[in-house]
Amino acid sequence: MRRRFPLITFGLVALALLLPGTAGAQVTPAAGYTPPDDTPAVKVGGVLFLDFTRTTDPQITDTDGNKVSASAFNVGRAYLNVTGQVNHLFAFRITPDIVRETGTGSSLNGSLTYRLKYGYGQFNLDDWLWRGTYVRFGMIQTPYTDFEETVYRYRFQGTIFADREGFASSADYGVSFRTAFPQNYGEVVAGLYNGDTYTRADPNNQKSFRMRATVRPFPGPGLARGLRVTAYVDQDHTVKDADRDRFIASALYEHKYVNTYFSYLKTKDQASIKNPAIDANGWSFWITPKTTVGVEGLFRYDRLNPNDANDSRKSRWIAGIAYWPKMAVTTVNTAFLLDFEQVKYEDFAPARPTENRIAVHTLVTF
């Protein structure tokens, strides 16, 4: 019998249905009811990641045979966000992003070109269910990565743990449903996806079922309000009967002066029913202490066992200091980060050298 992970998330959904305040039948509007705004609207914004990165270890050999530490100025992301609504029921988003061309023989090899990152329609169900309930379809956010990146403000330094190790992606083709628990107890997002991320077309008939349930146990006033716990499952097949599964459990605590996050990851990958399955597991912890003058710290540690059948381990340390200037409007943001990153490989065959990088990162959003 193949292992499956969804029981905890389905239990959380059942809990949500039992919580007080669940919307059942539509309620007759009270006197003074304000009808929803059906005015068509379009907004344009952008996101820019810039960095200068120097890799001190391992060194590389240049074309003249010299041992040097590689360094480069980079543009890691250049989003153009076009969002809007047709009316209060239908909304949309179109987001192209840059990618470096790597095709050999192409005149664009090495150039930065645009591709679609998000492109979806959204059907809002607020008229029939509680606020924040909708269906999205097209090239949409995946349930887990989108959630962690909303609280991990340092995506401009690098992706979250599951994404960086190749077990998750921020977007994929599919359809998803999102609803909020009553009284701010949390939310559930579930959907059906191609399973091969937004960078590739679906090669077969297999689809990925993904579901995330996030609960805020203490939604009332007080310090406990900042706690949220999450369970996430991704059940897929590389080909028929060859499992490709992910399970993540995480805990988040948010406070005015610190955000901290812990996640545990367990995966199963089978390229074909003729091949043995590869089980992997790992965990990640990050903390971002904050001040009232815009100075923040970033400390993160990831640890992965890429194959339970052996003792190989991969670890990542990230430490940095950032400055977030205060802006006159909340829709505009910028940040500067100086950070050091170290990646170690233990008991890998063949052996891999330790990687050390120092970088200056810049974020601009508008």
E strand or H helix that includes residue 119: strand 112-124
Cβ atoms of residues 145 and 114 within 8 Å: no
> What pLDDT, on the 0 to 100 scale, is given for residue 345?
97
pLDDT (0 to 100) of residue 109: 75
Q: Which fold has domain 40-365?
A: Porin (2.40.160)
Taking the chain (366 residues) in consecutive chunks of 10 residues, what is each chunk's mean pLDDT?
Answer: 44 43 44 78 96 96 94 93 96 92 70 91 93 96 96 97 96 97 94 93 93 96 95 96 96 97 98 95 98 97 96 97 93 95 96 97 96
Please give the Cα distance from 174 to 171 (Å, whole number). 9
Can you give the pLDDT at residue 1?
A: 41
* Alpha helices (H) in 118-179, listed in sequence order: 143-151, 161-164
pLDDT at residue 27, as a whole number: 44
Count CB-CB contacts under 10 A for residue 36.
11
pTM listed for this prediction: 0.87
Q: Which helix (H) or strand (E) holds 15?
A: helix 7-18
pLDDT score of 22? 41
Q: HEC string of 234-286? A: EEEECCCCCEEEEEEEEEEEECCCEEEEEEEEEEEECCCCCCCCEEEEEEEEE
The structure tokens listed for 164 are 């960086």
Instruction: Report d(CA 183, CA 215) in Å as an integer.
Output: 11
DSSP reduced 3-state for 158: coil
